[in-house]
Chains A and B, each alone.
Chain A
């Protein structure tokens, strides 16, 4: 499907601007996947994440690992942001990730939730429609994420880990976007009986 600038971009930018001015959600219809209608903000990605309920763990992780300035900066990124429940579901492994001596491990996990540029649910759906199936985006961690439709739901997966994108809560920030997901896409390193 070819994205029509007249149909899509101009309208969405205009909506985004109006939403940004109001700093409120313009739509809560997850079926449409219209990102700009959901929430657009003049805040940076880091600030928007920090100010959104349910993402305190992800936000804290960015701050403690030193990645937050990246999302306050000039580069444009999209974060597939696991919500607090998603991190909670990791259990002890998730808690261990937050330890100071595990920050490099946590950074590696986070980098595989970051893709270059600014994507939103509508862009993802358009790409899936154009390709007739699964589409991929590379991550800033060296791998890639696969996006697909499960019925009307948008899902993202990586190496067997799968999450649903909460399109109703996606946020378009001034320098990127974040797409809420309900699971962590990277499995923390598993214990082994001995080195190697």
Chain B
């Protein structure tokens, strides 16, 4: 939702430190202790590229970069093969909701895990920044960024589905008779759009042009992107990073969609939105980068507070399924920690 993201949501695809399970007595705080873990190829085959799915635009595969970032000094397989079991579970979509509810109700603090390279096939790499940070004496990681896709953050030109084009364009429904309110794009979190006249109706934010004709529109969460609505064809499905798929229990790619920092679950057969899965900040965190504004308060989930407590040496903040370690002096991110077992 922030303009500096310039049209895409981004995520730090981070190599992270290996930690034991929060709450265990060893290796508390500061991220020191056990050797960093590497997930290696445990994602192989986990996701499908968009190119595998008919009717969906293929995205250029991201290249893996093996250009010399120091590697963690040991390998710790995640979950002893549990990832494979989880993938198998996901294939049974009928059981997903029940399992998701059960996991949610009983979610135990998971050991943070480490990864080294997270850019995967189907993910265009926006930029790459190598960074090495020492956490309690250990060199840990390289961080890369990838884009979630081009959905949102800008007006879709033309008329939305269902709005008949007449002459030079279409007119928003009810514009003539409905009491007008000052629906600014910023109200809906869109701060990068140009000034002009906007109108809300039928779940869309419309940009009005000459003669009150629609010059562009945005489908809004809860409106055109509400539960029960069909996913709009002008927003292509994207493949989310495997970590997000796992953390938010999204299942296979045809069963979710993403736009404007929101993850949706959809019926894979009809593309009808079935639920809203997650709201994301869209903020960019990366090792070596400044902590984004607006994280002044310690917000680590309770399950992880024993391990990731603020100290003189490190502060911790949570966003979008990750815990970020921050240098209290420089306010730079020094580690990115995943929370899925």
Contact = CB atoms under 8 A, between A and B. Distances in A.
Interface of A: 2-5, 8-10, 12-13, 16, 36, 42, 44, 65-67, 69-70, 72-78, 101, 103-108, 111, 114-119, 123-124, 126-127, 131, 135-138, 140-144, 147, 172, 174-176, 186, 188-196
A190 B299 contact: no
A174 B321 CA distance: 15
- Dominant secondary structure of chain A at its interface with chain B: mixed
Contacts of B208: 195-196
Interface of B: 1-2, 28-29, 100-101, 103-105, 107, 175, 179-184, 186-191, 196-203, 205, 208, 212, 220-224, 226-227, 247-249, 261, 275-281, 283, 292-302, 305-306, 309-312, 317-321
Nearest to B278: A75
Contacts of A186: 187
15 contacts: A2-B310, A5-B28, A13-B306, A36-B302, A44-B104, A69-B277, A70-B277, A74-B321, A104-B220, A104-B223, A116-B281, A138-B295, A186-B187, A189-B181, A190-B181
A5 B180 CA distance: 53
A146 to B, nearest CB: 9
B310 to A, nearest CB: 4
A127 B297 contact: yes
A78 B298 CA distance: 12
Most A-side CB within 10 Å, residue of B1, B175, B201, B280: B1
A172 B297 CA distance: 16
Which applies to chain B's interface (DSSP): helix, strand, loop or mixed?
loop
A141 B189 contact: yes
Contact of B1 (A13, A104, A141): A141
Nearest to A47: B105
A152 to B, nearest CB: 18
Nearest to B101: A72
A193 B220 contact: no
Contact of A192 (B105, B181, B306): B181
Nearest to A43: B105
Given A75-B248, A104-B223, A174-B104, 13 more contacts: A44-B105, A65-B226, A75-B320, A101-B202, A105-B200, A117-B318, A117-B319, A118-B318, A138-B281, A138-B295, A144-B293, A192-B181, A195-B180
Given A116-B281, A144-B294, A10 B223 contact: no
Contacts of B221: 104, 107-108, 111
Contacts of B103: 74
Nearest to B280: A140
A95 to B, nearest CB: 14
Given A116-B318, A174-B105, A189 B298 contact: no
